[in-house]
Amino acid sequence: MKSYECSVISLSGEKKTIERQANSADEVARLLEAEGFFCEKIKDLSSDGKKTRKKYGFATVLEFTETLYMFVASGISINQSFELMKTLFKKSKTGGLVDDILEKIRRGDTFHSAIEANGSSFSPVYRGLISISEKTGQYERVFERLVFFMKKEKKLKEQLVSSMIYPLFVMTFAIIGVTLLSFFVFPKLVDGMVGFSGEVPASLQKSIRFMDNLKISLVFVIVFVILLSIFISLKKVSSKIKRFMDALLLKIPLIKSYLINKECLSFCFAMESLTSCGVSVEDAMEDSLEVFTNLVFRDAIEKALGDVRKGSGLHESFADSKIIPDIMTKWLYIGEKTGQVESTFLQLRNYFSDKVDKVLSRVVSLAEPVLIMLTGMFVLLIAVKIVLPLFSMYR
């Protein structure tokens, strides 16, 4: 995404300068218009030779969020919290993040605008929930939930990494060993035998064909990885490519289950936070569009929002979607009938939180044995196709 500097006029006639990240200048104009600003001038900072803003890591953002939550929960305002954090985190990465945001707030930007300007460091869910906290005034509640989600995500990542270290280590060395064997060791061994006996032993002819096929396969794998990396990098600058990738991910069973439950969790938390503050369901749905990371799922909610605006019930608008889970449609039907939509979103949030935990736990439990099994099969194939024929020559 590109960085833009926008000269805007608010509805009250106040002029200010705001920095935003988006795929295009038109997208920036639409976003600012939705927030009640009229754009006088939009300047592309990425093409203006300015230094790209530093991207802060997950640990830095977590420390920033935890500390901010602690101050806000103590009754300190957002602006005062930043002043205290500036003193607290001198000469550290977190301090750099605080300085970046505080600079914009002092210039007149909102907290959400400052977060958007550092968008590469914050997830769409994070940025969306900050927007919600500004509209509802529930900073403490939103930061508490953000800290909870981020700590849970950190714990699950650590579990996943720890379970995959050993099998990935073994597989990496197996691949390196096979690559060296294919391109260096085995060809020299065959040349030596041809020079000694004048021909390739019959027992090795199948092994040679196997190694030739393996070389071709390795080349294809390398090319595929390079092309995939390029494609993923293009996803950041093209919404069409991102939408295609998001749709592709939703066709992979285990990934689909995780992504849908995660998007539903973010949506239900946003809706519960907004409706509990008296925001209408229609307005809450529009604001909640900011929390999605998957464009296909976002499109489904946006379509449902269009149906709600036309007069359809909430559960009816969701029932037509093939992506939104049936459980959400059924619970919302009950919530609308009983007039308890807010509490329904609270229950749905808890439900999808448990679902996300179960899916990730399943992935963690399956990752290590699957990788070990694949490594074992790979090594066994090499042993049968290459090592055994070599030993059979000396019988």
Each residue of 43-80: pLDDT tens digit? 776 544 344 457 888 889 999 999 999 999 998 988 88
**Which residue range(s) make up the domain with 44?**
1-48
What pLDDT score does 49 carry?
39
Mean pLDDT computed over 344-366: 85
The answer to whether residue 304 sits within a structural domain is no
What pLDDT score does 48 carry?
43
What pLDDT score does 51 carry?
44
Mean pLDDT computed over 299-314: 89
Beta strand 15-22 with 2-10: parallel, antiparallel or unpaired? antiparallel
The answer to whether residue 146 sits within a structural domain is no
Number of domains in the chain: 1
pTM: 0.66
Is the model more confident about 50 or about 315? 315
The rounded distance, in Å, linking the Cα atoms of 395 and 389 is 10
What pLDDT score does 68 carry?
92
**Is residue 96 predicted with pLDDT exceeding 80?**
yes
Mean pLDDT computed over 339-363: 86
Task: Work out the mean pLDDT of the chain and round it to a whole number.
Answer: 80
How many Cβ atoms are within 10 Å of 116's Cβ, its own excluded? 24
The answer to whether residue 61 sits within a structural domain is no
* Highest mean pLDDT of the ranges 88-102, 168-182, 221-235: 88-102
What pLDDT score does 198 carry?
63
* Highest mean pLDDT of the ranges 97-101, 120-124, 383-387: 97-101
What pLDDT score does 46 carry?
54
**Is residue 171 predicted with pLDDT exceeding 70?**
yes
Distance of CA 42 to the CA centre of its chain: 28
The answer to whether residue 338 sits within a structural domain is no
**Secondary structure of residue 294 in the 3-state scheme:** coil
Percent of the chain's residues with pLDDT above 90:
9
The answer to whether residue 39 sits within a structural domain is yes
**Is residue 206 predicted with pLDDT exceeding 60?**
yes
Q: Among 133-142, 208-217, 287-296, 384-393, which is the least confidently predicted range?
A: 384-393
Mean pLDDT computed over 363-380: 79
The rounded distance, in Å, linking the Cα atoms of 23 and 116 is 13
**Secondary structure of residue 227 in the 3-state scheme:** helix
The rounded distance, in Å, linking the Cα atoms of 279 and 283 is 6
Q: Which residues lie closer than 8 Å to 258 by C-beta, 6 or more apart?
A: 356, 359, 360, 363
Mean pLDDT computed over 301-319: 88
Residues 251-282: pLDDT tens digits? 888 788 888 998 998 888 888 877 877 778 88
